[in-house]
Structure 1
Amino acid sequence: MLRTNGPVVLSLAAALLTESDVAHHVADDHLSDSSIGDLQPRLVADDQVMLARRILTGARILDKPLG
């Protein structure tokens, strides 16, 4: 859903989803600090993907929702 090297953007997006009770997790977070630095952490919504996209689009973190 969201791939970024920006820890502030990732934190803000996660906080918005938490506040809206949208289950999510951060994948590949441990890889961004390794020698494989081009792998960005990803914020992934577990179930309510469309709701998560609308929330992040409304906050101007994503460009536009899909669908």
Structure 2
Amino acid sequence: MKYLLQGSLQASGEKLRITAQLIDVTTGGYIWSQRFDRQAEDIFVPIPMKPPLCSEMIAPPVSGMISPPV
């Protein structure tokens, strides 16, 4: 296993805080981390993330590990 997706959920009344981290298992370093604050009624509503943002977060750390290089 090379990467670990770790997260937590905290609730206070109707407020929720969702935290997620992508961790490189070999180094223990964080590749990406983000916190989302939501209302409990919106828990199953998708969190909007623009595709370029996703690729900026994930592609650079992972791109050097693709063999053969693309």
Same fold (TM over 0.5): no
User: Shorter-chain TM-score: which interval?
Assistant: under 0.3
Q: If the length of structure 1 is used for normalisation, what is the TM-score?
A: 0.28
Query: Normalising by structure 2, what TM-score?
Result: 0.27
Higher RCO (C-alpha 8 Å, min separation 6): 1
**Structure with the higher fraction of residues in strand conformation:** 2
